[in-house]
């Protein structure tokens, strides 16, 4: 019924209504932006922008094919805007041109509505309203940027969009069964997750509490989060929330590895799910218990960890270190697999746990080693368990003595559960 009614209404009439409504919405938004300013300082608001939209509609409808009248009107509007802008600079010494650009977009609504799909026109109008409304939010956001922040973003875009597509996808040699493409993809994946966590911490949760810091830090690096939180507890005195935060960081380590597994090797990711779900649940349950225990003692002091405590994951030295470890582990894993078989891989994973485990684990995900997925799954669980032992030692040595019992108990449980899972569950 509604469709039949709309079909009887002339298209030009409907388009005129759309131009008028959209122009009025943009003008009302401009009025809200300038409501605290003197009238003389405004370029225009609801009526002015509505008339600009109607003016553009009239000139476009006169000659829609050659656009001569519409182009002439655009030149006239631009000339008026130039005169206004020149007078604004002289009178108020303000140089912003947001309202002027918005006026030009409003003038272009008529050809957009006639020539482009409706969803695109609506998206443009909504974007204009959104961008102009969030002026203060953008200003506050940009104040959080350091000098090198845009350089870091440019680095990430280069390593993802420029370097990665240019690399060949053939193995480097028979000894290193990894192609340059897969090698760089590993750097992209690890750096991407770490960079995402870094941005969340820096821009979304800059003053997050210690528990949220543990969660975000675990996505970045659970080992780095453990060291930073432990040192903070020693510097700032007793705090019972540090141990739960470190355990939550460890829970996020398992989430991080699962994401990498599904990114590189779906079948291994599926085999890891049961064990890692158990380990994640155990980590969270133990963290919740010690968080509740700390509240009952009522002796907590909140710690705020700045994002500046974390190294930007896109730094050249970080990528270089990861690349060097990746190549080393590729060589060592190949040698151990060839000479010692499955048992050798498990022993190697135990040793690797005391270093950066990401290069070793991604090697297992990517390489076509002559070992089954169950063995690879066990090796990954062993490596994470060994890494938990390292983090427990870091926390006990570097942290306040008050957090040592909780770390010993929490990581002790995780180590026992991890070893049981490494030798039981992957075989099923």
CB 231 within 8 A of CB 223: no
Residues 129 and 163 in one domain: no
* pLDDT at residue 39 in the model: 46
Question: Which of the listed residues 121, 140, 159 is the one where a domain comes to its end?
Answer: 140
Residues 290 and 406 in one domain: yes
Residues 160 and 117 in one domain: no
Q: Which of 230-234, 273-277, 309-313, 395-399 has the lowest mean pLDDT?
A: 309-313
Residues 268 and 341 in one domain: yes
In terms of residue numbers, what domain contains 26? 2-140
Question: Which of the listed residues 91, 110, 140 is the one where a domain comes to its end?
Answer: 140
Residues 7 and 36 in one domain: yes
Cα 227 to chain centroid distance, Å, stands at 23
Residues 151 and 94 in one domain: no
Q: What is the pLDDT of residues 272-290, one digit of tens each?
A: 999 999 999 999 999 998 8
* pLDDT at residue 276 in the model: 94
Q: Which of 366, 368, 358 is nearest to 324 (CA)?
A: 358
User: Residue 381 — very low, low, confident or very high, per pLDDT cuts 50/70/90?
Assistant: very high
Domain count, the chain: 2
In the structure encoding, which two tokens stand for residue 43, read together? 């370029």
* pLDDT at residue 42 in the model: 58
Residue with the bigger pLDDT between 108 and 330: it is 108
3-state SS, residue 1 = coil
Q: What is the pLDDT of residues 49-94, one digit of tens each?
A: 899 999 999 999 888 888 888 999 889 988 888 888 787 777 666 6
The Cα 329–Cα 332 span in angstroms is: 5
In the structure encoding, which two tokens stand for residue 423, read together? 């030798």
Classify residue 154 as left (phi > 0), alpha (psi -120 to 50) or beta: alpha
| pLDDT at position 347 over 60 | yes
Helices (H) and strands (E) in the chain, counts: 18, 0
User: Residue 3 — very low, low, confident or very high, per pLDDT cuts 50/70/90?
Assistant: low
Residues 259 and 344 in one domain: yes
Residues 228 and 286 in one domain: yes
Residues 157 and 73 in one domain: no
Burial class, 160, CB count within 10 angstroms (exposed 0-12 / middle 13-18 / buried 19+): middle
Residues 97 and 182 in one domain: no
Average model confidence (pLDDT) across the chain = 79
Residues 212 and 115 in one domain: no
Residues 93 and 162 in one domain: no
Residue with the bigger pLDDT between 46 and 297: it is 46
| pLDDT at position 38 over 60 | no
User: Residue 413 — very low, low, confident or very high, per pLDDT cuts 50/70/90?
Assistant: very high
pLDDT above 70 covers what percent of the chain?
78
Question: Which of the listed residues 140, 165, 184 is the one where a domain comes to its end?
Answer: 140
In the structure encoding, which two tokens stand for residue 418, read together? 């991890």
């Amino acid at each position: 019924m509604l469709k039949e009614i709309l079909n009887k209404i002339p298209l030009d009439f409907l388009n005129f209504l759309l131009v008028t409504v959209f122009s009025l919405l943009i003008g009302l938004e401009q009025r809200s932006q300038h409501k605290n300013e003197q009238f003389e300082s405004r370029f225009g608001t609801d009526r002015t922008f509505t008339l600009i939209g109607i003016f553009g509609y009239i000139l476009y409808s006169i000659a829609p094919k050659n656009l001569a009248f519409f182009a002439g009107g655009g030149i006239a509007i631009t000339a008026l805007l130039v005169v206004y802008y020149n007078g604004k600079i002289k009178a108020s010494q303000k140089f912003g041109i947001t309202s002027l650009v918005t006026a030009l977009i409003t003038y272009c609504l008529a050809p957009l509505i006639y020539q482009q799909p409706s969803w695109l026109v609506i998206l443009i109008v909504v974007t204009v309203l959104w961008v102009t409304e969030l002026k203060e939010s953008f200003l506050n956001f940009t104040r959080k940027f350091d000098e090198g922040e845009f350089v870091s973003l440019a680095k990430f875009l280069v390593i993802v969009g420029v370097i990665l597509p240019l690399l060949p996808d053939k193995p480097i040699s028979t000894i290193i069964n990894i192609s340059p493409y897969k090698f760089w993809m590993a750097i992209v994946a690890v750096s991407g997750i770490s960079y995402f966590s870094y941005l969340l911490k820096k821009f979304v949760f800059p003053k997050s509490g210690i528990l949220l810091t543990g969660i975000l830090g675990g996505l970045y690096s659970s080992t780095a989060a453990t060291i930073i939180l432990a040192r903070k507890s020693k510097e700032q005195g007793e705090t019972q929330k540090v141990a739960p935060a470190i355990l939550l960081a460890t829970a996020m380590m398992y989430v991080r590895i699962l994401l990498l597994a599904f990114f590189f090797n779906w079948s291994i990711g599926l085999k890891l799910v049961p064990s890692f779900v158990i380990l994640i649940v155990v980590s969270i349950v133990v963290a919740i218990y010690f968080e509740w225990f700390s509240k009952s003692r009522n002796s907590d002091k909140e710690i705020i960890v700045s994002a500046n405590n974390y190294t930007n994951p896109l730094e050249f030295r970080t990528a270089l270190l990861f690349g060097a470890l990746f190549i080393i582990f590729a060589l060592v894993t190949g040698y151990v697999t060839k000479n010692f078989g499955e048992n050798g891989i498990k022993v190697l994973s135990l040793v690797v746990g005391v270093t950066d485990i990401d290069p070793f684990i991604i090697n297992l995900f990517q390489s076509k080693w002559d070992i089954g997925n169950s063995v690879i799954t066990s090796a990954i669980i062993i490596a994470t368990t060994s890494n938990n032992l390292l983090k427990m030692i870091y926390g006990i040595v570097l942290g306040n003595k008050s957090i040592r019992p909780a770390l010993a108990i929490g990581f002790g449980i995780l180590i026992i559960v991890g070893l049981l899972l490494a030798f039981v569950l992957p075989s099923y």
